[in-house]
Structure formats: C-alpha cells, structure tokens
Amino acid sequence: MSTTQLYFDHCASTLPHPDVIRTVAEVMEQVYANPSSIHGAGGQAEQLLRRAREVVARALQVEPEEILFTSGATESNNLAIFGIAKTHQAAGKPVHIIVSEIEHASVYKCVQQLEQEGVEVTYLPVDTNGRVRPEDVEAAIRPHTVLVSIMHVNNEMGAIQPVGEIGQILRRYPKVTFHVDGVQGLGKVPVRLAEWGVDLYSLSGHKIQGPRGAGVLVKRKHIMLQPLMYGGAQEGELRPGTENVPAIVGLAKAVRLAVEGQAERYNKLTRLRQSALEHLSQLKPLVVNSPADPYSAPHIINISFPGMKSEVVVHALEQKGIIVSTQSACSSKLHKPSRVLLAMTHDSKRASSGIRISLDASNTEMEIDRLVKSFKEMTEQLQPLVQR
C-alpha cells in the first residue's frame, strides 16, 4: 500500500500489533510440534495452547474450559448457531430461532439455511438508531425457541445493541440460549459476558490487531453443541483438527491487549469520530446513518451519498488516497443495497450509497482532516453526476 494512502477500513481488517507479529513469528520458528503428540516437543506446544486459553479466559472473565479456538468468527458463529439447532433437531424437537435483520452474513445466512431445513426463524426489525428493541425479543419468544442471536456492535453502521437488557430478559427463559457476535465490540466498548448472561460469544483475531485465521467461541459449560466437523478430540471434540498454535498464541496476546487498552482506545476513538462527524455532517449531499452517542460504537461512521452508487464513492476516494468501504467486507462485492441500511432507514437510495469509515486508535487528527477534505472534494466532483 502506498505511503500516501490513509486506511479507514479497520472493521474489515486491522494491522497486526507489532507484539503479536513477533509472538507469532517466534512460536512458528521455535514450537512446531503437534500439541496432541505425547512427546516432549508436543507437550511444549500443548503448554502454549493451555496458556493461550487461560489468557483469553482471564480477559473475558470466563473459565479456560469455556474457550474454543476456531479459524475465525464465521466458524464460531456457524458452530454456535448450527450447533444449537442440530442439538435440538437431533432430539426430535421443533426449533425456533430469533435474530435481528441486521446480523452479519455469517449469522444471517446460517439461519436462512436452517429455514430451508424446516427451522422457524423470526427476524427482528430495528429502530431508527439501528437497535433491536428488547421488548420485541421477548414478544417473539415461543415455547420452542432455542436460540436468540444478537450482535453486540453492528459492523456497518456501528449501533451498539442492548445485549445487556436482552440478556436480563432471557434469564427468565432458561431454555433459550443467548449468542452474541462480539466481533466489532471487543476492545472498543466494554464487554461483560457474565453480567449479560451470554451463553455463546464469537470473536475474530484480525479485527483486534491479531492474526487472520484465528478466532474464539466462548461456550458456557452448560451449553450443549453438536459439532460441524468430526475427527480428533481437539477443542472438546467440537473443533477437530491440529490447532494453529502460533496463530492462537498471537490471538491470545491480541485479546489481552484489546481488553487492557479498551478504555484509553474508546476515549481516543470517540474524539476522532466526533471530529470527523462534526465536519462530514455539514457536507449537504451526505447523510449520516450511524446513530448518535450513546448508541454508537466509537470507531464506525456510516454515511450515504444518496443518488450515487457506494462503489463509485469508494473508488473516487481511493484516487485521493483514502481507503474506506461499503458494506461488510464479506458482502461488499455483491453490488446490492445494504440489507442493514435498508432495515434501518427503509430508504433504497441511502442503502445503495452507504459508505463505512472505520477508525483505529492509530489514526490521528491530521488524518481526519485529510479524510474530511477528501470527502469535500469528492462530493463536489460527483454531485453533478447524482442520479435524481
């Protein structure tokens, strides 16, 4: 990437922390035995794996045996959702699942697939702040509801979901499992799994300055899951296959750093976001989609340029050295209106022209100034081309 380019797509992927890079490299070079092997070298790898599990558990305030290592949040979400559904289906029971209309594709497409297999799914709407109403969750619960899956922070427009309130409601329904996709929350806003009553919680390493290909599923002890894959006994027989020890150790370091630095990171990101919004909101063609504080995460700004395709805006800004995105990276190449923005705004023009700016604590005020300047130039250039 050219040194003149500024990266504002940290929701898609983050630059690994230097300490994480060094850790992964050292483990790759020095510890290459299979952690399942019974010889001394295998024991050394197993010890690193155990320490990594303890580090993640301590950071999230859960038990080490409640930590499952996966390849990332997509696998974690799939294991959580299919795992719960298949467990109940295997017992011959009807299955009903509740999700929001704005879940990430790795949740949304899971439940769509389950619908095709006969599972009942309720898709909850969101309000004008892009938030699920807790009372809607309770109203949707049926006798055969087995799972509620609500993300912590929406990955497109940054709305913080009321997972604490939802968790308190679900305590009255002990047969309902509560899953939270926590990918965009950890390290940016506080995470309190025990207080919220979360049963399953998904994380991805490369969203928090960790390595790609490493993730976590927190699974409380009382939760039963049917595995998606079969083979060895790794990860409690729920995720067979030789563990990627270097990536897992790097992930553990990234989780610890994310949690330890959360408060300071929140303060800086909030300042940067407020500075950007103060100026971007004054550019008349633009419409801010992200909710205002306290309902928005500090690192995400979503703006629409109604009448202009979002991919045109992305490429126009890239010509100015500004890297932003449209929808989630998983959906950005579909060239369709954002499902998330449609659910929130009910406006197809805004949903077709949404731009996501996602910040990192490494960004500076000078970079925000350049971002705003580039947006101003871009709007002036493209305004005559707007589709009326």
The DSSP string of 232-286 is S-GGGGTS-S---HHHHHHHHHHHHHHHHTHHHHHHHHHHHHHHHHHHHTTSTT-
What DSSP state is assigned to residue 333? Answer: G
Catalytic pick among 330, 347, 382, 383:
330
Q: Which of 354, 290, 345, 309 is nearest to 327 (CA)?
A: 354
The strand order across the sheet containing 145-149 reads: 67-70, 215-219, 200-204, 177-181, 145-149, 96-100, 120-124
Please tell me whether residue 67 adopts helix, strand or coil conformation: strand
11 flagged as catalytic: no
Q: Which of 26, 66, 259, 287 is nearest to 157 (CA)?
A: 287
What DSSP state is assigned to residue 309? Answer: -
Give Cβ neighbours of residue 384 (< 8 Å, ≥ 6 apart): none
Contact 183, 132 (CB under 8 A): no
Q: Which of 258, 160, 268, 149 is nearest to 210 (CA)?
A: 258
Compute the distance between CA of residue 313 and CA of residue 16 in angstroms, rounded to an integer.
27
Give Cβ neighbours of residue 38 (< 8 Å, ≥ 6 apart): none
First to last CA, the chain: 36
The DSSP string of 337-367 is --HHHHHHH--HHHHHSEEEEE--TT--HHH
Compute the distance between CA of residue 383 and CA of residue 388 in angstroms, rounded to an integer.
11
Contact 286, 379 (CB under 8 A): yes
- Within 10 angstroms of residue 61's Cβ, the number of other Cβ atoms is 12
Give Cβ neighbours of residue 159 (< 8 Å, ≥ 6 apart): 102, 126, 129, 130, 131, 153, 290, 291, 295, 296, 297, 344
Active site residues: 330
